[in-house]
Amino acid sequence: MNILLVHRYFWPDAPTYALLLRLLGRHLRAEGHAVSVLSTQPSYNGAYRGPRPPRRECLDGVDVHRLALLPEHGRARVARVLNAGLFLLAVAAHILVRGGHYDVVVVSTLPPVAMGAAIRVVTGMRGLGYVYHCLDIHPEAAVEGGLLPEGTRLRALRGIDRRTCERARAVVVLSEDMRRTLLARGGAARNIHVINNPVAHEADDPRPAEETGEPVPPGPCPDGADPLVVLFAGNLGRFQGLEHVVDAAGTLAHRRDIRFVFLGAGKAREDLERRAGALVGRTVVFLDHRPVTEASRLMRRADLGIVSLRPGVIHVAFPSKSMQYLQAGCRVLAVVEPDSELSRFVHAERVGRTVAPGDPAGIARAVLAEADRRAAGGPHDREAVRAVAAAHFGQKVIFGRWSRLIGDLQRQGAA
């Protein structure tokens, strides 16, 4: 098949999905498909510091087109909104003009609702099929994040996105929780597929070494021993509920053998630093976003990787950092609903602990339990944790599911 992958961010941009999309394209190309990518120049949170990539290049046999948008600086919300609209219009125009070159378009949920709806319209005009890759479920995610109230606007947006799902040749979600959310809309289950994101390895991110530096490690304890490192790596946004993690760090400030490390960028970072106050630089460390290679190094040093979401968010998104922690041999502290797929997975595989959202005291107790476990010589078999990651989220497993899905679409087209 001739496949077009569409997403706002693509390698070497900072988001993990930007790298995973490159890996998916490489995998599909290796299976004999012709693959193109339509994306933009790196711009995510200003995290990318390398040279400007070519506007068009061939990576691993994949034809990559990068659109140039308006510069985004700091909190330039207007520029970000304009760029989202410009990208949507550019994608629509590309498909209208060049749609005859493709058999299927794989599109993500960015910008929310609008991108999927635009793809539905323009692929319908060109007689193409599309796969709707729901990294998050919108507009429900905006509701859970406190950005959109119940009302007429919500119902209208949900109706638009429901039609996008219904007319897609396939809808891909990351978890059974997300699948149930789509089914609760009243849509059909026939075209919904659960395919989570795979783990990414350091070797998958071939950036020149001079673009990166060693991550800043937390300092040793007063007695010279290595501290228990509790790591959050990812977007420091409004959906994560990280204020409760900072509060837990405050509760444990007297434990100089415990370090909380926040690795990443996002709208909530300044608020979190203010909330941490005098703890910053002592028992709480904030690090800027790092490429996968460096983030993986820090994960390998960490004892506990935090996955934290506000109540309800787990039903509309799945935190892919979970499998990256496991790939690094790092146990997980999942701050999510007890009945969620992630919570049940952590318990069933015995790879960490879980706490309900909004419970700083519970987070502190879980961290203390891990510290006591380590002090007592409890086992932390990193190879066993990595084996769990490979069995459930290895690239061979996840990309094999994508291969079966694309094969099914190809057979349907030939029928």
Q: Are 331 and 352 in contact (CB under 8 A)?
A: yes
Range 33-61 average pLDDT = 91
Higher pLDDT, 72 or 103: 103
Q: Does some domain include residue 61?
A: yes
Same domain, 287 and 387: yes
According to the model, what pLDDT value does residue 9 have?
A: 94
3-class DSSP assignment, residue 261: strand
**Where does the pLDDT of residue 156 fall: very low under 50, low under 70, confident under 90, or very high at 90 and above?**
very high
Whether residues 157 and 282 fall in one domain: no
Q: Is the pLDDT of residue 211 over 50?
A: no
**Same domain flag for 235 and 100:** no
pLDDT at 42 over 80: yes
Average pLDDT over residues 240-254: 95
In percent, how much of the chain has pLDDT > 90?
A: 70
> So what's the pLDDT on residue 213?
46
Residue 210 has pLDDT above 50, yes or no: no
pLDDT over 60 (residue 212): no
Q: What is the pLDDT of residue 221?
A: 59
The predicted pLDDT at position 45 comes to 74
382 lies in which domain range? Answer: 218-391
- Is 373 inside any structural domain? yes
Domain count for the chain: 2
Same-domain status, 322 and 399: no
Residue 86 lies in a domain: yes
Q: What six digits make up the tokens of 322?
A: 């979970």
CATH number at residue 9: 3.40.50.2000
What pLDDT is attached to residue 249?
A: 96
**What is the enclosing helix (H) or strand (E) of 295?**
helix 292-301
251/316 same-domain check: yes
Q: What is the pLDDT of residue 209?
A: 43
Q: Does 349 lie in the same domain as 241?
A: yes
Asked if residue 220 has pLDDT above 70, the reply is no
At 8-27, the pLDDT tens digits run: 999 999 888 999 999 999 99
Residues 169 and 242 in one domain: no
| Same domain as 280, residue 164 | no
Confirm whether 203 is domain-assigned.
no
Query: Is 73 found in the same domain as 23?
Result: yes
For residue range 178-208, list pLDDT tens digits in order.
999 999 988 667 899 999 999 988 777 766 5
Q: Is position 376 within any domain?
A: yes
Looking at the fold, whether 22 and 145 belong to one and the same domain comes out as yes
Q: For residue 214, what pLDDT is reported?
A: 45
- List pLDDT tens digits, range 351-373: 999 999 999 999 999 999 999 88
- Higher per-residue pLDDT: 98 or 73: 98
Q: pTM here?
A: 0.89
Q: Which of 28-37, 147-156, 379-388 has the highest mean pLDDT?
A: 28-37
Whether residue 209 is contained in a domain is answered as no
Q: How far apart are CA 134 and CA 132, in angstroms?
A: 6
pLDDT category at 311 given cuts 50, 70, 90 is very high
**Which H or E run includes 202?**
none
Among the residue ranges 123-127, 210-214, 263-267, the one predicted with the least confidence is: 210-214
Same domain, 335 and 366: yes
Cα torsion 122, 124, 126, 128: sign: positive
Distance CA 275, CA 246 (A): 7
Among 146-160, 228-242, 277-291, 336-350, top mean pLDDT goes to 336-350
Task: Provide the residue count of the chain.
Answer: 415
Question: Does residue 23 form part of some domain?
Answer: yes
337 pLDDT tier (thresholds 50, 70, 90): very high
Residue 358 bridge partners (DSSP) = none
Helices 16-30 and 395-414: crossing angle in degrees, nearest 10, is: 60
Phi, psi of 153 (to 5 degrees): -65, -45
- pLDDT at position 222 is 56
Q: Are residues 32 and 157 in the same domain?
A: yes
Residue 207 lies in a domain: no
Confidence category of residue 379, pLDDT binned at 50, 70, 90 = low
